[in-house]
Amino acid sequence: MIFNKTDCRSTKTRHAARAMAGAALWAGALAMPAASLAQTAPVKTAPVKSVPANSQPKPLLPEEQAPAKQARQVPTDMTSAPVIQEIPTDYFTVAPVWQVAQAEALLSYIRAIGNEGLFPRDYQPDTLQAAIAKGAGKDLNEIATRLFTWVAEDLRDGRTEMDSRAQWFVEDPDWKLHPIKPLLQDALAAGGQTGGIVAALDSLSPVHPDYAVLKQMLLETSEGDKAARAKIRANMDRWRWLGRDLGKNYLLTNVPEYQLRLVINNKVHTSFRTIVGKPGRTATPQLAETVEGVIFNPTWTVPQSIVVGEGLGARVLNNPSYARNNGYKAYKTEAGMTVVVQQPGPGNSLGLMKLDMPNPHAIFLHDTPSKSLFNNSGRALSHGCVRTENAMKLAMILAKGLGGLSSEEAVEIANSRKYTRVELKKELPVYITYFTMARDIDGVMRSFDDIYGRDEPVLASLAAPRKVKTGQHVTDEAIVPIEAPGA
């Protein structure tokens, strides 16, 4: 369905219909020889250099507890960080019953958890070993349950504390999709089958191929190369901050790489160079949002910081030829505020398209008239939004594949110079991520410049003692909408 700018946004009541229609549209739009689809590149790598006995468990899930920040002391040597004091965190009013063999399976998993980029010391293997030596009973039940919970939380949600995930505004859905209580109950129900514990924990790790490649790199990197190993761990943990499974179809941009990928049926269909936010106030935040539509020939309502702060409003109102040459129209509100809107056209700051992905940050993917900037090697140049090279190609793919347009209809709309919103019949997830170590578009694992300095707090959090989770799954960092996304 096609909307003009006077129509309201899509509502959630249409989602089910979109999903059914969208699957068929993708199939039609992608009905081409398999060779014409860009396959995911083969994996390559480039050189990178105890609860007190008288305490009562709280019948609360961590997600029901109030978030709390705590001061952090960062040890200089990650391998020598002290173990924190035991603090009760219970998913169960009464701990379930463990067999000794099952606890031994958990102990073995903890001792080998370095393979997942985590640290055995965080999960108190000596405490668990002592409980196992005493045999089955209340102590073993409580200790094994607590430590299983800690391991599962970190594998599912990430080890890094929320306040160390700078500008990471993604809410990982896994704590709702994969609750730990039934996971453990099912694993223990297998009785003497100790594999249930291992399988349960393994089921929480990210399924994206990059996680597996990073895991292999960690195994192959010398213990002596602490800096490289720390960076690998940090980026493995970032994958845990996202949903375990991103889905089959999505857009993903890695900010430090300056690249956007369109993934269809788990394969990279097309990639695009990007321009991202400048370091500082307009750095691009990390988001997981949804594309609801494609806007051809967008308008741009200029933010007041430019209208007033830079005097644009006065220039537009007092100089009609300047306004006309730059496509600006201005009017005064009843309150006396000057509003300036740049009209559709090739000179529009948003270019000829933008993706409609409503979010409180006012961040979206869009075209730009400044094409030459895509030739720069460092492209942290925008006010926060993600400018996309060959943006009209992306718009056409989505408008046809998920919007139901024919090629002729899409071309006609694009050439009309009129604001037109094409609603997608199936919404498309978009992930704006930040990985300083990842596979590039050729499938080679590479390091990328930490353009916003976001590695340091992650590395510090991983180096510090593990803290008991508070149940916080969303950052409490302030949302500051980007004021000038097209500038």
Domains in the chain, please, with CATH?
A: 2-36+246-299+344-433 (2.40.440.10), 44-244+454-463 (no CATH)
| Tokens 């000794």 found at | 100
- Which has the closest alpha carbon to 19: 429, 430, 431, 427? 427
Residue 56 has pLDDT above 80, yes or no: no
Which pLDDT belongs to residue 4? 42
Distance from chain centroid for Cα 99: 38
Q: 89, 466 in Cβ contact below 8 A?
A: no
Query: Which residues are within 8 A (CB) of 324 and not within 5 positions of it... i.e. 6 or more apart?
Result: none
- Helical H segments across 7-137, by residue range: 15-29, 100-111, 125-134
pTM of the model as a whole: 0.82
- 398-450 pLDDT, tens digit per residue, is 999 999 999 999 999 999 999 999 999 999 999 999 999 999 999 999 999 99
Which pLDDT belongs to residue 234? 98
Sign of the torsion formed by the C-alpha atoms of 375, 377, 378 and 380: positive
Strand-pairing partners, residue 261, are 252, 271
Separation CA 211–CA 203 (nearest Å): 14
Strand-pairing partners, residue 263, are 250, 268
- Helical H segments across 66-99, by residue range: none
- 247-278 pLDDT, tens digit per residue, is 999 999 999 999 999 999 999 999 999 999 99
Q: 172, 243 in Cβ contact below 8 A?
A: yes
Phi, psi of 482 (to 5 degrees): -65, 130
Where is 292: in which H helix or E strand? strand 287-296
Q: What is the mean pLDDT of residues 107-136?
A: 98
Torsion of Cα atoms, 387 then 388 then 391 then 394, to 10°? -130
Please return the burial class of 252, using the count of CB atoms within 10 Å of its CB with bins 0-12, 13-18 and 19+: buried
Query: Which residues are within 8 A (CB) of 195 and not within 5 positions of it... i.e. 6 or more apart?
Result: 105
Sign of the torsion formed by the C-alpha atoms of 210, 215, 217 and 218: positive
Write the DSSP assignment of 225-267 as a string of letters: -HHHHHHHHHHHHHHHHS-S---SSEEEEEGGGTEEEEEETTE
- Structure tokens belonging to residue 356: 């409609």
Q: What percent of the chain has pLDDT over 70?
A: 79
Work out the angle at residue 345's Cα, subtended by the Cα atoms of residues 343 and 346, and round it to the nearest 5 degrees: 140
- 188-241 pLDDT, tens digit per residue, is 997 666 689 999 999 999 999 999 999 999 999 999 999 999 999 999 999 999
Give, to the nearest 10 degrees, the angle between helix 100-111 and helix 195-202: 40
Which pLDDT belongs to residue 93? 82
| Tokens 């090739």 found at | 346
More confident residue, 258 or 383: 258
Secondary structure in 3-state letters for 304-357 = HHHHCCCCHHHHHHHCHHHHHHCCEEEEECCCCCEEEEECCCCCCCCCCEEEEC
- Structure tokens belonging to residue 387: 């400018």
Where is 272: in which H helix or E strand? strand 267-277
Please return the burial class of 84, using the count of CB atoms within 10 Å of its CB with bins 0-12, 13-18 and 19+: middle
Residue 482 has pLDDT above 50, yes or no: yes
Sign of the torsion formed by the C-alpha atoms of 267, 276, 455 and 169: negative
Residue 64 has pLDDT above 60, yes or no: no
Where is 141: in which H helix or E strand? helix 138-157
The helix/strand/coil state of 278 is coil
- What separation, in Å, do the N-terminal and C-terminal C-alpha atoms of the chain show? 30
What is the widest separation between alpha-carbon atoms in the chain? 87
Separation CA 342–CA 338 (nearest Å): 13
The helix/strand/coil state of 413 is helix
Which pLDDT belongs to residue 480? 80
